[in-house]
Structure 1
Amino acid sequence: MSLRLQAITREEHLAFIRTRPSVSHMQVPSWGDVKPDWRAESLGWFDERGQLAGAGLVLLRPLPKVKRYLAYLPEGPVIDWHAADLAERWLAPMLAYLKSRGAFSVKTGPPVVARRWSADAVKEAIADPTARRLADVAATTYEPGAEEVAERLRRMGWRRTEPGGEEGFAAGQPRYVFQVPFAGRSVEDIHRGLNQQWRRNIKKAEKAGVKVVRGGHDDLPAFYELYAETAERDRFIPRPLPYFQRMWTALTAEDPDRMRLYLAHHDGEVLAAATMLTVGTHVWYSYGASTSRKREVQPNNAIQWRMMTDAHELGAAVYDFRGITDTLEESNHLLGLLRFKAGAGGEAVEYLGEWDFPLNRLLHKALGLYMSRR
């Protein structure tokens, strides 16, 4: 029997999230306030007893000139993805509801892990001249049930998003991330798990007098200055400063610890800055920024170690470095970032990726072509 799906209040949504150990920061009600170009709505799945059994934040993006929407549930919704009746009980009511709201296509990101590679396995893969992509390297562990979830989605008519391709709207959330498990580990255990370079750099930063402090809304321009420099250096398009100010205001209003800002100072100069997000026992390193100056004092390792120890103090079960490249080619400028994250001693994690369901095939295809040509 399918569940009843309806819009719920932010308060109901937040109360449900508090009952879960881990929910993506993109599935909390305040995330909708960060995205003003989208209309946000909290959805609730109710069981036969009228109890809230699942929830999701859907973002609705209007198509120019017509009252039709792309419906997007980033890294969600929070439902029982491993249910044998996933399609009929959970997803069919969602598609019917969103179609009634004018959605022509639905994009979702199941928070389902498929494979994991240990830090050592990643290191070996990078060193192997024959390895081209992480996806082609044997995983350390395969998560049971992940392939069944993917198969259920395919049978229902969902298609995995290919970033930039005709089937996908654009590169969405990362399919590959790097995480350090904290559950049941002391700070000393976590420190021992860092590679030698990380431990050396943390000590070097301490000796050099690098001081990592927590900042607030007024420190966002200092963060942004470094972030803009980082964007130019690493060849990506930066988000504007108001995005981060809006993010701070929205997330901290919902929970004072939802978003934190850290700055690494040395001799009166800010050398690095980073934002940290927390939902339940999951902590993310969200955005990082640094200058090319004084790299020898290792502000990036210092700021990460402070964030990791603070995350541990908050009761984190996992510290999430977010996206990594799947490409192992030396020519890829993102490989250095993978090496840096792998040095923290955790594991590379592959999720099932994002999936599209075209409710109106013509509009879905038209938008896919438009996005691929941008």
Structure 2
Amino acid sequence: MCALLVTTAQQDQYQDRKQDQELRVRTLSVPEYQDFLSRHGRASFLQYPSWAEVKDLWRSETVGWHYPDGRIQGAGLVLYRQFPGTRKYFAYLPEGPVADWSDPHVDRWLTPLMRHLKAAGAFAVRIGPTPAYRRWDAATVKSATGPDRQLSDVLATEVDPVGAALADRLRTRGWKRCGGEDDGDAQPRHVFRVPLAGRSLDDLWSGLNQEWRRNVRKAGKAGVETVVGTAEDLPEFYRLLRITEERDGFRLGRSLAYYQRQYEVLNAEEPGRMRLYLGIHQGEILAAHTMIVAGSRVWYQTGASADHRREVRPSNALQWRMMCDAHALGADEYDMRGVPSTLDPDDRSFGLLRWKLGTGGQVVETLGEWEIAMDGYTNTALYKAFQAYMARR
């Protein structure tokens, strides 16, 4: 018993010393940064150096947190957007930084970051902390649908204690959560994720609902082929995307050149990082979906499909192929990206959520994006003008 008490006391002292150690932030070389991401394995693709090349209108920097002995403990890709007519910058870390958000001493991470960004000319900062906030399984969401219903009306299947604690810590330090339920964030606040870790392909298949399994079989019987395309197929993907935008009433606002650049720079960083999947029927491309692979995670990014021959279900076939490929890559999860927060079946946007629910995954409310102004800029015309500028964009 005495030995156990000594051991526990020693552990407490060690933790106290660790908490007292000051973390510092410095610029990392790209190789240093990539080495950290490869060891971490869970970073978003938006935190990889290639994403900075996609966002070519922003200046970028890779930074790292380290102890005095040089050990890197966290890292982040910072995108800087200059406000026209000034030498001041808006600093943005999309779905980042990659930090130990479970650390109750969050100031060890935030204070040196803010000091570094202020020295770089930033007047405001936006971050996207990675912990989840709440999760709803597919069965819970399906049972809660109804007129004027929202996800926020439904008791979550799970509340992430790390995410909930971090949200409180950010609020008490003056950080403000961006936007409302479905606006204000540059990245989706509500996403749909299919867990893959520890599951066999048979488990994934049985997780699909009856309609999804029927549609995948129907595609196979109709002769739909699923293949991985190349950069030469991007114009056809883009043509189908414009058709999809018109049909479903949304506009991503991206050009063909944007997707071509994204495909080029992501795959230059690592071959196969971005993949284009094609659903082909009778020699015609009827659907095209993009997938991104980084570390132990896989994302379905953008989907497009034709208006005709929808009865052969090419999109269901593509998604099943992509889920199987993600499983073969050893991914922990298949992230289907954004879903709306509405649970009203009469709302036009609910169709996207309904479709993704059929995979048997989970709706995840992320912490969203949080923003803070540097000291002295909170109430200035500059900060307010930049907020209006970003809202117009």
Asked if residue 23 in structure 1 is aligned to residue 40 in structure 2, the reply is no
* Cα distance in 2, alignment partners of residues 26 and 195 from structure 1: 31
Counterpart secondary structure, 1:82: coil
Q: Deviations over 1:327-373 (max 9, x none)?
A: 12233221001000010001111111110011122222222234446
Query: Alignment partner of 2:49: what SS?
Result: coil
Q: Deviations over 1:274-295 (max 9, x none)?
A: 0000111110000100011100
In structure 1, which of residues 201, 208, 213 is the aligned counterpart of residue 215 of structure 2? Answer: 201
1:111-126 pair list within 5 angstroms: 111-126=130-145
Moved more, 76-85 or 363-372: 363-372
CA drift of 1:226 comes to 0.4
Residue in structure 2 matched with residue 284 of structure 1 by the alignment: 299
Q: Give 2:366's aligned residue.
A: 351
Partner residue, 1:56? 76
Query: How many residues get paired?
Result: 368
Deviation at residue 236 of structure 1 after TM alignment: 2.2
Q: Deviations over 1:290-334 (max 9, x none)?
A: 011100000010000000001100001100100000012233221
* Aligned equivalents of 1:280, 1:16: Cα separation in 2: 11
2:275 matches 1:273: no
Mapped partners of 1:82, 1:175: distance in 2:
20
Match of 1:132 among 130, 149, 152: 149
State the AA in 2 paired with 1:358: A
Letter in 1 for 2:33: H
Amino acid aligned to 2:161: P
Runs of 4+ aligned residues of structure 1 deviating over 3 Å after TM superposition are 369-374
SS of corresponding position for 2:65: strand
Distance 2:79 2:392 in 1: 23
- Of residues 284, 305, 318, the one that matches 2:320 is 305
- 1:222 — aligned with what? 236
Structure 1, unpaired ranges of 5+: none
Which residue is equivalent to 2:254? 239
Do the aligned partners of 2:185 and 2:369 also contact (CA within 8 Å) in 1? no
Relative distance call for 1:372 and 1:31 in structure 2 (3 A) is closer
Gaps of 5+ in 2: 1-20
Q: How does 1:95-106 map to 2 (within 5 A)?
A: 95-106=114-125
Give 1:47 deviation, angstroms: 1.3
CA RMSD of aligned residues (A): 1.6
**What CA distance in whole angstroms lies between the structure 2 residues aligned with 1:268 and 1:15?**
43
Q: Distance in 2 between matches of 1:146 and 1:236?
A: 30
Contact 2:92 2:126 (C-alpha < 8 Å) held by counterparts: yes
Separation in structure 2 between the aligned mates of residue 51 and residue 5 of structure 1, nearest angstrom: 11
Q: How far 1:164 sits from its partner (Å)?
A: 10
User: Does 2:95 align with 1:75?
Assistant: yes
Residue 143 of structure 1 deviates from its aligned partner by: 1.0
Q: What's the CA shift for 1:230?
A: 1.0
8 Å Cα contact 2:49/2:77 also seen in 1: yes
C-alpha separation in 2, matches of 1:59 and 1:85: 25
Tell me the distance in 2 between the aligned counterparts of 1:153 and 1:313.
38
Decide whether the 8 Å contact of 1:175 with 1:351 is kept in 2.
Answer: yes
In structure 2, distance between residues paired with 1:100 and 1:6 = 11
Larger radius of gyration: 2
Q: Is the Cα contact below 8 Å between 2:50 and 2:269 reproduced in 1?
A: yes
Farther-moved stretch of structure 1 (187-196 vs 356-365): 356-365
Q: In the alignment, residue 270 of structure 2 is paired with which amino acid? A: D
Q: Deviations over 1:250-293 (max 9, x none)?
A: 11011112111100000111000000001111100001000111
Q: Distance in 1 between matches of 2:387 and 2:276?
A: 36
Structure 2 match to 1:294: 309
Q: Identify the residue that residue 90 of structure 1 maps to in structure 2.
A: 109
Q: Structure 1 vs Structure 2: percent identity of aligned residues? A: 50
TM-score, normalization by structure 2: 0.91
Q: Residue 187 of structure 1 aligns with which residue?
A: 201
Name the counterpart of 2:332: 317
Query: Is 1:340 aligned to residue 340 of structure 2?
Result: no
8 Å CA contact 2:131–2:162 kept in 1: the answer is no
